[in-house]
């Protein structure tokens, strides 16, 4: 089962809840998540890798709603964070600190200090100046801190260039020579235990080869380090597993494990994975309402009440999201639409040249595979309150983040006397 969105009598359901009923209750647009799909995707990975009992740290930037995080933490997941704000969320859902790993190229002093005080498992360090900074702050706090070094293996993951992170020209990670030097000079960092290697080469990677290529390089490198007597306890293989948006044929968790596990046979590392999209992507949809159908000489536009501020992936990466009508109308003709939002930008589209059943004002549609990098990348552009988020479990549903109000839009703003 890829997800728990399906049709019953031509009406879209999430698990046992008719999606239309939620739309009537709370209005549109809203994000809708399936509890079961989230859990099943986590469990697929846990099962595939059970022989090495990995720590699976859900990459929170994909979807950071507290209800989602709590769901995954209760099922044994840890969390991969990239900011102090994400650390705050991790604490809110009572994630054990021993299951938190912290990556990102721009950690501030305050963020580092908070994470050390929390007692997170590992910092994934991306530069030498960052390493020095963590050393200084750990010294001040009289703590010994676990550090893993993010290696940039210089491989092309064959994905969109904005989400490729493992090529030499990206800002991420350290080259192997530098990592080697750090291990040799570990005594320069008395408050750090340099005990791990981290690699994350990009996102929405649908083939196994880029992973295998990167991990082979890492393995050779590890062998080299260990020959010199350096100890590596944690091997963090990152995230990046691709999912189905349209006609991709990504590797399954089992296929992925079959390719990866033999590479590391006999190794005693504590393995860490940081999947985001794989767990969240197909677990959520964005539900929106058609406002107008605008027919011009060039195109048919379906203008809807969700826009690029709600779901920016099509505008940002040219991403494809399948469109599911909440009610299928058997035999009507299909028309081709550009499905666009209300925002004043030509980039404000959710789909282009899409053949869909004929649409009319007030029709409801769901954008599939919007559970990852959907709400978490949303904004208030054009002074639009952010959408509500709803979680379904079986026949229950609940709003897990309220739709923002106009007052939310201006919270914290003030007009100085002197303007």
Ligand X SMILES: *Cc1c(COP(=O)(O)O)cnc(C)c1O
Residues forming the active site: 344
The set of residues, in sequence order, having a beta carbon less than 8 Å from that of 223 and lying 6+ positions away, is none
Nearer Cβ to ligand X (239/374): 239
Look at residue 326 and give its three-state secondary structure: coil
* Rounded Cα–Cα distance for residues 290 and 342 (Å): 11
- Compute the least distance from the CB of residue 236 to ligand X, in Å: 8
| Distance in Å, CB of 408 to ligand X, minimum | 27
Q: What is the DSSP letter of 167?
A: S
**∠ CA 354-356-361, rounded to 5°:** 110
Total residues found in the chain within this entry: 419
Q: Phi and psi of 390, rounded to 5°?
A: -130, 135
Which is nearest to 30 in space by CA: 289, 377, 257? 289
Shorter beta-carbon distance to ligand X: residue 314 or 325: 314
With respect to ligand X, which residue has the nearer C-beta, 83 or 309? Answer: 83
Decide whether 124 or 300 has the Cβ nearer to ligand X.
Answer: 124
**Side-by-side strand order, sheet with 17-18:** 5-8, 11-14, 17-18
Alpha-carbon gap, residue 127 to 277, rounded angstroms? 26
Q: Which is nearer to ligand X, 204 or 288 (CB)?
A: 204
To ligand X, the closest distance from the beta carbon of 220 in angstroms equals 22
Calculate the dihedral angle through the C-alpha atoms of 168, 170, 172, 174, rounding to the nearest 10 degrees: 20
Select 291 or 377, whichever has its Cβ closest to ligand X: 377
Residues binding ligand X (CB under 6 A)? 59, 61-62, 80, 82, 103, 200, 203, 238-241, 274-278, 372
**What is the phi/psi pair of residue 319, to 5°?**
-70, 155
Cα–Cα distance for residue pair 20/24, rounded to 1 Å: 6
The pair of structure tokens assigned to 403 is: 């739709």
| Nearer CB in complex with ligand X: 22/101 | 101
Cα–Cα distance for residue pair 155/240, rounded to 1 Å: 13
Q: Where are the alpha helices (DSSP H) in 141-252?
A: 176-184, 209-227
Contacts of 39 (CB under 8 A, 6+ apart): 71, 72, 75
Strands 270-273 and 349-357: unpaired
CB nearer ligand X, residue 28 or residue 63:
63
Nearest approach, Cβ of residue 14 and ligand X (Å): 22
Task: For the CB of residue 200, give the shortest distance to ligand X in the complex, in Å.
Answer: 4
Quick check: helix, strand or coil at residue 355? strand
Rounded CA-CA distance 41/36 in Å is 9
323-325 and 122-125: which strand pairing?
unpaired
In angstroms, give the least distance from the CB of 275 to ligand X.
5
Residue ranges of alpha helices (H) inside 238-312 are: 253-260, 277-280
| Whether the Cβ atoms of residue 122 and residue 236 lie closer than 8 Å to each other | yes
């Amino acid at each position: 089962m890829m997800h728990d969105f399906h049709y019953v009598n031509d009406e879209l359901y999430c698990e046992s809840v008719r999606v239309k009923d939620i739309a009537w209750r709370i209005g549109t647009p809203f994000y809708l998540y399936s509890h079961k799909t989230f859990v099943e995707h986590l469990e697929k990975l846990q099962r595939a890798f059970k022989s090495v009992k990995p720590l699976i740290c859900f990459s929170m930037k994909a979807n950071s709603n507290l209800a989602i995080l709590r769901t995954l933490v209760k099922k044994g997941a840890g969390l991969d964070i990239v900011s102090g704000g994400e650390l705050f969320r991790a604490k809110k859902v009572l994630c054990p600190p021993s299951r938190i790993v912290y990556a990102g190229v721009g950690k501030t002093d305050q963020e580092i200090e908070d994470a050390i005080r929390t007692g997170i498992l590992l910092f994934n360090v991306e530069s030498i100046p960052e390493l020095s900074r963590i050393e200084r702050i750990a010294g001040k706090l009289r703590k010994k801190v676990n550090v893993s070094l993010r290696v940039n293996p210089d491989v092309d993951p064959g994905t969109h260039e904005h989400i490729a992170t493992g090529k030499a020209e990206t800002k991420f990670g350290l080259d192997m020579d530098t990592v080697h030097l750090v291990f040799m000079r570990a005594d320069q960092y008395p408050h750090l235990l340099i005990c791990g290697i981290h690699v994350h080469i990009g996102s929405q990677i649908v083939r196994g080869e880029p992973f295998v290529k990167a991990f082979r390089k890492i393995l050779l490198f590890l062998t080299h380090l260990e020959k010199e007597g350096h100890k590596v306890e944690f091997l963090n293989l990152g995230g990046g597993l691709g999912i189905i948006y349209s006609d991709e044929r990504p590797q399954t968790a089992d296929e992925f494990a079959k390719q990866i596990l033999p590479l590391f046979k006999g190794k005693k590392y504590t393995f860490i994975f940081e999947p985001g999209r794989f767990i969240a992507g197909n677990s959520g949809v964005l539900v929106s309402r058609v406002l107008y159908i605008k027919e011009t000489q060039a195109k048919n536009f379906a203008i809807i009440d969700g826009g690029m501020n709600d779901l920016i992936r099509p505008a940002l990466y040219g991403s494809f999201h399948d469109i599911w009508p909440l009610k299928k109308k058997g035999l009507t003709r299909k028309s081709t639409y550009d499905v666009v939002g209300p925002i004043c930008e030509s980039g404000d589209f959710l789909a282009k040249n899409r053949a869909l059943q004929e649409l009319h004002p007030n029709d409801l549609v769901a954008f599939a595979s919007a559970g990852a990098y959907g709400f978490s990348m949303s904004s208030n552009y054009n002074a639009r309150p952010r959408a509500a988020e709803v979680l379904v479990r079986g026949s229950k549903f609940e709003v897990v983040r309220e739709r923002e109000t106009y007052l939310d839009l201006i919270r914290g703003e003030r007009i100085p006397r002197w303007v």
